């Protein structure tokens, strides 16, 4: 095969406080014996990708630059965010956690993969036209499954299954999820319905309530309702949920969930203890929809925990047989339980367009963008 | 033995929002075969006792009542605290987690304990002249150790050892402690010096810094100093501490510690990761010096946890051989590593005195009150 060149997205924040985005032209290296070259046809814009891509830049402040054939984009970073960015300053970072496409070349050991459709993850960034990855890091998609259908095969499905697996491992029997109307939230709802796990969905509007109700969710609570605190205690008492996953992060939600769990458990207790319920109540924060301080108010009791949770580290911690079982489930249910929906398809150059950046930064419910780096609509 | 009558302290918060304290006269039951009757000569006023005793009543608002022979005390509870008190309303609660005294009567199986000096814990409250307890719940004090010396043999020593044991079990190798000048903090400092465990002490004044420095502490940081955040990162980087115990609870201290740990670890990292350091950073909150909201600000990374920690539950979780090993260490080092110091001795009736309530509620560093319920100064 002749040399392939590839355009790849780069994000840099300079010491001077500028965000710079551009497409870097690189030569695709030859695959090693155990590697494949994937032409990336579809890669989703997940919330964690958007955070890396833009940093704390205000989306509306981003301006186009460069030329039509070499587009760029840039913005000023608000000064107060600079101390937190020290570790990434002046580094040209690749972007894109996952994607899917066609194997166009392969090393000597894995020739059989040529022509197959695969999903893949790479630290080197999947917002690229081509990417060399280890064959063992690919999920070979079943016949008939397109790159578009496989583009989100890793992050959201393995996150939803990781949450359920965490629940089982830590001895809980029901879940609370906020904010639950996201693509991931809808996926978690499907997993819990299928596995008969009670799930308390917390959403932030009546419209989101309808979305989940239509998908068969039993408990959907609108956190903007004045009766929300009471409904949350009741739903937790009914389901017995003592574990929650929270994508909001900042603000009062994590504390509100712990206090509701403590109230539900204390009401069941026989006698008064100054220490509250001895049953451990846990909220894992896995997102930063609200980047502000996390405020834990009210009576949490003494048996509680709030902490970070990251899918990647969860899978590094568990044994490989369990991880394989969960990955196999994703492959088998990729077009049903784990189906993702996209509202827009964009090109790699579109990611540098100020209007499109504003659109995907909104992260509105029901809106999810798919990048098609190779230009091949899938 | 003839019937013994005993005065016992009671604390009640009524549905009408009144705190009521009084001494209840009860007849001491005969001990069962495996029980002993302890004449309680000394019982400390620990912070957790004060919280149960007074609830959220403002100490200065407490008024004396009753008669000289039957004193009482009472106060109004600020209305905003009433919802959090539901579980204890209208219950006459006994008070006093621990104490020590002389065994004056014993069941048939444990006659040998009569006359021995023991320390004990009881859910029934140790602020009483006599208490029947299971012999197995007593710590028989070595010859020559007085009730005063044994009064605080449970809560603080087992808390300090529980913290160190938690550190070993969870794979940490150094500790951060706030606020570290307390009786418990000084004890933890002695344990860590003896066991050669690096300990970062956080205190809240220059005077407290001096106390710990004089006791050989290497790292003592004054949180009121403008250079505190920087010093904390440096002390954590030097010691490698990834576990902290925090008695303050409310406010920003727990978050400040996590962000300092994250900054110290990130500075050691080789390459930038959007997820921060993969090493887990934990803060356990075990006190409520500040009863306000817990506010977690800044960059915590994604591998972090903040949660409640309670000595009692820790000892229920660990195996009995380990628990016994720790209890034995307390007995052996009761007058050295685990020595407590008291600034005042008071009678049971004194606990109802408004002036004395204001004095022990201050919980000033170096001030600790000892109740002598039997009237026998030890």
Q: Does B15 touch chain A (CB under 8 A)?
A: no
Q: Does B233 touch chain A (CB under 8 A)?
A: no
Nearest-CA neighbor of A239 among A190, A180, A173?
Answer: A173
Are residues A91 and B266, on separate chains, in Cβ contact within 8 Å? no
A92, A281, A296: best to mutate for the B interface, most B CBs within 10 A: A296
Residue with the larger pLDDT of the pair B68 and B250: B250
Are residues A52 and B274, on separate chains, in Cβ contact within 8 Å? yes
Q: What is the DSSP code (8-state) at residue A364?
A: -
Contacts of B306 in chain A (CB under 8 A): 296, 305-307
Among candidates A48, A304, A309 on the partner chain, residue whose Cβ is nearest the Cβ of B308: A304
Q: Which of residues 92-151 of B touch A (CB under 8 A)?
A: 93
Q: Does B275 touch chain A (CB under 8 A)?
A: yes
Q: Does A274 touch chain B (CB under 8 A)?
A: yes
Closest-CA distance of chain A to residue B237, Å:
16
Contacts of B266 in chain A (CB under 8 A): 86-87
What pLDDT is attached to residue A376?
A: 56
Q: Does B300 touch chain A (CB under 8 A)?
A: yes
Q: What is the dihedral of CA B212, B216, B222, B223, to 10 degrees?
A: -90
Q: How far apart are CA A228 and CA A235, in angstroms?
A: 10
Contacts of B48 in chain A (CB under 8 A): 274
Q: Does A362 touch chain B (CB under 8 A)?
A: no
Among candidates A91, A255, A275 on the partner chain, residue whose Cβ is nearest the Cβ of B310: A275
Closest-CA distance of chain A to residue B92, Å:
11
Closest-CA distance of chain A to residue B323, Å:
19
Q: Does B253 touch chain A (CB under 8 A)?
A: no
Are residues A88 and B269, on separate chains, in Cβ contact within 8 Å? no
B98-151 pLDDT tens trace? 999 999 999 999 999 999 999 999 989 999 999 999 998 899 999 999 999 999
Q: What is the pLDDT along chain A (378 residues), one digit of tens a residue?
A: 578 999 999 999 999 999 999 999 999 999 999 999 999 999 999 988 999 999 999 999 999 999 888 899 999 999 988 887 888 899 999 999 999 999 999 999 999 999 999 999 998 999 999 999 999 889 999 999 999 999 999 999 999 999 999 999 999 999 999 989 999 999 999 999 999 999 999 999 999 999 999 999 999 999 999 999 999 999 999 999 999 999 999 999 999 999 999 999 988 876 777 788 999 999 999 998 898 999 999 999 999 999 999 999 999 999 999 999 999 999 999 999 999 989 999 999 999 999 999 999 987 777 899 999 997 544
Q: How far apart are CA B60 and CA A267, in angstroms?
A: 32
Among candidates B272, B295, B307 on the partner chain, residue whose Cβ is nearest the Cβ of A305: B307
Q: Give the pLDDT band of residue B357 (cuts 50, 70, 90).
A: very high
Sign of the alpha-carbon torsion through A347, A350, A351, A357 = negative
Contacts of A243 in chain B (CB under 8 A): none
Are residues B48 and A274, on separate chains, in Cβ contact within 8 Å? yes
Q: Does B272 touch chain A (CB under 8 A)?
A: yes
Contact B132, B106 (CB under 8 A): no
Q: Does B269 touch chain A (CB under 8 A)?
A: yes
Pick the residue from chain B with its C-alpha nearest to A264.
B87
Are residues B308 and A301, on separate chains, in Cβ contact within 8 Å? yes
How many cross-chain Cβ pairs, A to B, lie less than 8 Å apart? 93
Instruction: Give this prediction's pTM.
Output: 0.90
Q: How far apart are CA A93 and CA A128, in angstroms?
A: 12
Q: Does A302 touch chain B (CB under 8 A)?
A: yes
B285-327 pLDDT tens trace? 999 889 899 999 999 999 999 999 999 999 999 999 999 999 9
Q: Does B216 touch chain A (CB under 8 A)?
A: no
Q: Give the pLDDT band of residue B155 (cuts 50, 70, 90).
A: very high
B81, B296, B299, B300: best to mutate for the A interface, most A CBs within 10 A: B296
B247, B302, B312, B313: best to mutate for the A interface, most A CBs within 10 A: B302
What pLDDT is attached to residue A68?
A: 83
What pLDDT is attached to residue A1?
A: 58
Q: Does B303 touch chain A (CB under 8 A)?
A: yes
Are residues A307 and B305, on separate chains, in Cβ contact within 8 Å? yes
Closest-CA distance of chain A to residue B95, Å:
11
Q: How far apart are CA A3 and CA A222, in angstroms?
A: 54
Contacts of B313 in chain A (CB under 8 A): 275, 278, 302-303
Q: Residue B197: phi, psi to the nearest 5?
A: -105, 125
Closest-CA distance of chain A to residue B74, Å:
20
- Helix (H, G, I), strand (E, B), or coil: what is residue A194? helix
| Least confident window among B32-36, B90-94, B113-117, B137-141 | B137-141
Does this complex have an ipTM over 0.95?
A: no
Contact A330, A142 (CB under 8 A): no
Are residues B308 and A309, on separate chains, in Cβ contact within 8 Å? no
Among candidates A51, A255, A303 on the partner chain, residue whose Cβ is nearest the Cβ of B274: A51
Among candidates A272, A274, A293 on the partner chain, residue whose Cβ is nearest the Cβ of B296: A293
B341-351 pLDDT tens trace? 899 999 999 99
- Helix (H, G, I), strand (E, B), or coil: what is residue A119? strand
Are residues A272 and B87, on separate chains, in Cβ contact within 8 Å? yes
Q: Give the pLDDT band of residue B48 (cuts 50, 70, 90).
A: confident
B367-378 pLDDT tens trace? 899 999 997 544
Are residues A295 and B295, on separate chains, in Cβ contact within 8 Å? yes
Nearest-CA neighbor of B22 among B71, B83, B79, B85?
Answer: B71
Pick the residue from chain B with its C-alpha nearest to A302.
B308
Q: How far apart are CA B262 and CA A265, in angstroms?
A: 34
Are residues A305 and B300, on separate chains, in Cβ contact within 8 Å? no
B198-244 pLDDT tens trace? 999 999 999 999 999 999 999 999 999 999 999 999 999 999 999 99
Are residues B84 and A299, on separate chains, in Cβ contact within 8 Å? yes
Q: How far apart are CA A53 and CA A92, in angstroms?
A: 11
Pick the residue from chain B with its C-alpha nearest to A258.
B307
* Arithmetic mean of pLDDT, B63-79: 93
Among candidates B301, B304, B308 on the partner chain, residue whose Cβ is nearest the Cβ of A302: B308
Q: Does A45 touch chain B (CB under 8 A)?
A: no
């Amino acid at each position: 095969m002749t040399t392939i060149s590839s355009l790849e997205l780069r994000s840099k924040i300079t010491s001077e406080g500028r965000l710079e985005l551009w497409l870097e032209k690189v030569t695709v290296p030859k695959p090693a014996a155990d590697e494949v070259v994937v032409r990336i046809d579809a890669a989703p814009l997940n919330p964690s990708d958007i955070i890396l891509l833009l940093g704390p830049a205000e989306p509306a402040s981003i301006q186009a630059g460069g030329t039509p054939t070499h587009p760029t984009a840039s913005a000023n970073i608000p000064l107060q965010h600079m101390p937190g960015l020290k570790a990434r300053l002046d580094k040209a970072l690749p972007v894109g956690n996952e994607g899917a496409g066609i194997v166009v070349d392969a090393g000597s050991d894995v020739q059989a993969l040529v022509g197959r459709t695969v999903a893949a993850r790479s630290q080197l960034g999947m917002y690229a036209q081509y990417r060399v990855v280890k064959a063992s890091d690919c999920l070979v998609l079943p016949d008939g499954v397109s790159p578009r259908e496989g583009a989100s095969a890793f992050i959201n499905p393995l996150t939803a299954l990781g949450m359920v697996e965490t629940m089982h491992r830590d001895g809980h029997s029901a879940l609370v999820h906020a904010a639950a109307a996201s693509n991931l939230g809808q996926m978690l709802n499907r997993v819990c319905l299928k596995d008969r796990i009670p799930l308390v969905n917390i959403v932030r509007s009546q419209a989101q309530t309808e979305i989940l109700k239509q998908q068969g969710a039993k408990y959907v609570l609108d956190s903007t309702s004045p009766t929300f605190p009471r409904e949350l205690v009741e739903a937790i008492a009914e389901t017995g949920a003592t574990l929650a996953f929270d994508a909001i992060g900042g603000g009062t939600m994590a504390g509100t969930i712990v206090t509701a769990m403590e109230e539900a458990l204390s009401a069941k207790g026989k006698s008064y203890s100054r220490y509250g319920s001895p049953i451990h109540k846990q909220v894992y924060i896995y997102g930063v929809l609200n980047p502000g301080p996390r405020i834990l108010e009210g009576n949490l009791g003494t048996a509680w925990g709030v902490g970070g949770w990251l899918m990647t580290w969860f899978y590094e911690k568990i044994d490989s047989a369990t991880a394989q079982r969960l990955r196999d489930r994703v492959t088998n249910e990729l077009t049903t339980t784990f189906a993702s929906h996209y509202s827009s398809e964009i090109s790699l150059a579109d990611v540098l367009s100020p209007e499109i950046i504003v659109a995907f930064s909104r992260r509105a419910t029901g809106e999810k963008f798919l990048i098609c780096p190779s230009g091949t609509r899938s």
